[in-house]
Amino acid sequence: MVNEFELIRRYFVRDGRQAGVALGIGDDAALLEVPPGAQLVAAVDTVVAERHFLPWTSARSIGHRALATNLSDLAAMGATPAWATLALTLPRAEGAWLEQFAAGFMQLAAAHGVSLVGGDTTAGPLTVSVQIMGWVPRGTALRRDGAHAGDLLVVSGTLGDAGAGLRFAREGSADNPDADWLLARYDFPEPRIALGLAARGLASAAMDISDGLAGDLPKLAAASRLRALVAVEKLPQSAALRAVAPPDQTRDWSLGAGDDYELLLAVPPAKIHELQDKALQLNLTLTIIGELTAGAGVQWTLNGGDFAPRVTGFDHFG
Amino acid sequence: MVNEFELIRRYFVRDGRQAGVALGIGDDAALLEVPPGAQLVAAVDTVVAERHFLPWTSARSIGHRALATNLSDLAAMGATPAWATLALTLPRAEGAWLEQFAAGFMQLAAAHGVSLVGGDTTAGPLTVSVQIMGWVPRGTALRRDGAHAGDLLVVSGTLGDAGAGLRFAREGSADNPDADWLLARYDFPEPRIALGLAARGLASAAMDISDGLAGDLPKLAAASRLRALVAVEKLPQSAALRAVAPPDQTRDWSLGAGDDYELLLAVPPAKIHELQDKALQLNLTLTIIGELTAGAGVQWTLNGGDFAPRVTGFDHFG
């Protein structure tokens, strides 16, 4: 059994100087350099065994997702990621598990220039809590409360894939040719950091819709004191998703399964083409799903008729 | 059953503008203002049910301690606390428990000017993870690696009280007149923030000794590449501690029980009087327990003879 200090060193400490880190892991706290003129952006997210992943989920996926959920919050603010701390509670210090967990975490961290600057490991039921820190030039963050009447509602990528992926993870894929891609969308989500940066100065508001559009959109509308109109038939769906389930089912997943880690953006019509061009350069589609008007709440329609989503998003104590 | 959003709002959100907070709880992430010329200081600590507290520990104490452990890390860096995020995993959203937990957390936060700027609540086994953020003027942080040969080794307050408090918490106090004070030292530790600030520019190195002096001092000696000489009979003990157990027992608690949340400082002899004067103004005693010399490791003596501590500090996977 390795002790805590060795455990952190072995799997999580990287040698060499890291950007913006004056003092990293190993003292009572880290010393970090926020760029001049920038605001610090901070968020926290926790994943808990059996609540957020299945018992047979790979350690690599857990490590990836624990960081990806936090990076997605920074993406939604238009922030540049910089540093993370990790609070890892696990029943036993098992080398093979930790190596894979750290590989999933550190590979995504490296891809986005994130340095792990603090860690705390504790014995107990598997719980992974990550705090992410990044920065934006002062006053440029994408907030939920910045939208205006007339702004278009836009989502990135495709919605519902993770819902289907979770079903395959639960029930097996029986050689379904689309299963691997959908499973990867669930197990290894890609936070939309580059899109968030591209949207600074173009979008008027943004949020992460990892709890599902049906539950998250009302929060953006409320924060901006506006009414959202959404044409549900416009929700972008992947060919793989449409191939594995009937429309009623895929619609439910697209609206409420969550875990897609796409962004919802409010964009003034005059800026939409520039943002779509930037998204194309990132190999990412942006889809207009509706607009914001004066009023409150969300009006969902399906092919012109009223529609009531059967799902209301993920409530952690529901 | 309240949902997550209501739960956070009801117990943890305080209205009114908070220092250095451009955007607090309620968006994807918080927007924070680090003072110009300052370095950000960040640390994380987790407390887990039955590992870090007894099943009958009060919710108020758990809330207090979860923040106090993190504040103690900032104190050890000489940092000014500013913001915290809280990742709270709990089996059920129980109003009475949450109210007391939040009271313990928020009262200590208010006492030290800390704003809670992010929260994540999850259903699962009770786990409380807090990340603390603060700041120091660039280059002034108290690190573990700054000590010089000839520096005096100094500890704040008294050592061992929390060890005795934990015993009373476990076994009951049977009307012992010293029990309440010792229990409070365990349940409601006071992080030495003011001392850390006073020690900037005077101490050459510092660390928190919450895992016990016997386990923590070797880390400071190693970081500064020096040898520590400690006269164990000089360890400061409270009258209450000495009243409740024989010397062998209190010595073990003072060296290794941990949870006292005092600071260990390395101080050049020319600066010791100024620092002691400042500590007196804070109603805090500083005790010289030894010194640092060239070499490596720690040499413990008791009344002039060699001594080997029976305890080696708290290993979270020991």
* B45, B87, B125 ranked by CB distance to A125: nearest: B125
Is B145 in contact with A2 (Cβ distance < 8 A)?
no
At residue B76, the pLDDT reads 98
Is B145 in contact with A27 (Cβ distance < 8 A)?
yes
Unique residue bearing structure tokens 């989503």: A309
Q: How many residues would you count in chain A? A: 318
Crossing angle for the helix pair B59-77 and B179-187, to the nearest 10 degrees: 70
What confidence tier does A173 reach under pLDDT thresholds 50, 70, 90? confident
At residue A55, the pLDDT reads 72
At residue A1, the pLDDT reads 38
- Both tokens assigned to A214: 């049906």
* A1, A28, A315 ranked by CB distance to B207: nearest: A28
Is B93 in contact with A317 (Cβ distance < 8 A)?
yes
User: What is the C-alpha to C-alpha distance for residues A286 and A301, in angstroms, rounded to an integer?
Assistant: 20
At residue A51, the pLDDT reads 67
Number of C-beta neighbours around residue A202 at 10 A: 19
What confidence tier does A318 reach under pLDDT thresholds 50, 70, 90? very low
E strand or H helix at A12, and its extent? helix A4-12
- To probe the interface with B, which of A12, A44, A45, A210 has the most B CB atoms within 10 Å? A44
Q: How far is B8 from chain A (nearest CA, A)?
A: 12
Is B129 in contact with A125 (Cβ distance < 8 A)?
no
At residue B5, the pLDDT reads 57
When the pLDDT of each residue in chain A is averaged and rounded to a whole number, the result is: 91
At residue A163, the pLDDT reads 94
Q: How many residues would you count in chain B? A: 318
Q: Which of A246, A250, A163, A154 is nearest to A202 (CA)?
A: A154
Q: How far is B208 from chain A (nearest CA, A)?
A: 7
At residue A116, the pLDDT reads 94
Contact by Cβ (8 Å): A225, A296: yes
**Residue B172 CB contacts under 8 Å (≥ 6 apart), including other chains:** none
* Complete edge-to-edge strand list for the sheet that includes strand A21-23: A21-23, A30-32, B38-48, B127-137, B80-90, B115-123
DSSP letter string, A228-274: EEEEGGGS---HHHHHHS-HHHHHHIIIII-----EEEEE-GGGHHH
3-state DSSP call for residue B304?
Answer: coil
- Both tokens assigned to B48: 């887990």
Q: How far is B191 from chain A (nearest CA, A)?
A: 13
* A50, A127, A131 ranked by CB distance to B44: nearest: A131
At residue B52, the pLDDT reads 67
To the question of pTM greater than 0.80 for the whole model, the response is: yes
User: What is the C-alpha to C-alpha distance for residues A260 and A282, in angstroms, rounded to an integer?
Assistant: 17
What confidence tier does A123 reach under pLDDT thresholds 50, 70, 90? confident
What confidence tier does A311 reach under pLDDT thresholds 50, 70, 90? low
Measured between beta carbons, the chain B residues lying within 8 angstroms of A74 are 28-29
- To probe the interface with A, which of B5, B28, B41 has the most A CB atoms within 10 Å? B28
- To probe the interface with A, which of B1, B129, B265 has the most A CB atoms within 10 Å? B129
| Amino acid at position A276, single letter | Q
Measured between beta carbons, the chain B residues lying within 8 angstroms of A97 are none
What confidence tier does A11 reach under pLDDT thresholds 50, 70, 90? confident
CA B191 to chain centre: 5
pLDDT at A310 over 50: yes
Residue A283 — left, alpha, or beta (φ > 0 → left; ψ -120 to 50 → alpha)? left
- Kindly provide the ipTM of the predicted complex, given to two decimals: 0.91
Strands A115-123 and A38-48: unpaired
Q: How far is B143 from chain A (nearest CA, A)?
A: 7
User: What is the C-alpha to C-alpha distance for residues A30 and A24, in angstroms, rounded to an integer?
Assistant: 5
- Both tokens assigned to B15: 């209205």
Q: Which of A216, A215, A214 is nearest to A205 (CA)?
A: A216
Is A127 in contact with B89 (Cβ distance < 8 A)?
yes
Is B133 in contact with A40 (Cβ distance < 8 A)?
yes
What ranges in A84-178 are assigned the alpha helix state H? 95-111, 161-171
Q: Which of A266, A284, A251 is nearest to A205 (CA)?
A: A266
Residue B248 — left, alpha, or beta (φ > 0 → left; ψ -120 to 50 → alpha)? alpha
Contact by Cβ (8 Å): B31, B83: no
At residue B103, the pLDDT reads 94
Measured between beta carbons, the chain B residues lying within 8 angstroms of A94 are none
Per-residue pLDDT of chain B (318 residues; tens, 9 = 90+): 345 656 667 777 776 678 899 998 889 999 999 999 999 999 999 888 766 667 778 999 999 999 999 999 999 999 999 999 999 988 887 888 899 999 999 999 999 999 999 988 888 888 899 999 999 999 999 999 999 999 999 999 999 999 999 999 888 887 888 999 999 999 999 999 999 999 999 999 999 999 899 999 999 999 999 999 999 999 999 999 999 999 999 999 999 988 999 999 999 999 999 999 999 999 999 999 999 999 999 999 999 999 998 765 455 553
User: What is the C-alpha to C-alpha distance for residues B109 and B11, in angstroms, rounded to an integer?
Assistant: 14
3-state DSSP call for residue B277?
Answer: helix
Q: How far is A221 from chain B (nearest CA, A)?
A: 12
Is A207 in contact with B28 (Cβ distance < 8 A)?
yes
User: What is the C-alpha to C-alpha distance for residues B40 and A134, in angstroms, rounded to an integer?
Assistant: 12
Q: How far is A127 from chain B (nearest CA, A)?
A: 8
User: What is the C-alpha to C-alpha distance for residues A215 and A222, in angstroms, rounded to an integer?
Assistant: 12
pLDDT at A314 over 60: no
Q: How far is B264 from chain A (nearest CA, A)?
A: 12
A197-255 tens-digit pLDDT? 999 999 999 999 998 999 999 999 999 999 999 999 999 999 999 999 999 999 999 99
Contact by Cβ (8 Å): A238, A262: no
Measured between beta carbons, the chain A residues lying within 8 angstroms of B11 are none
At residue A284, the pLDDT reads 97
* A4, A29, A41 ranked by CB distance to B31: nearest: A41
What confidence tier does A91 reach under pLDDT thresholds 50, 70, 90? confident
Sign (positive or negative) of CA dihedral A219, A70, B75, B73: positive
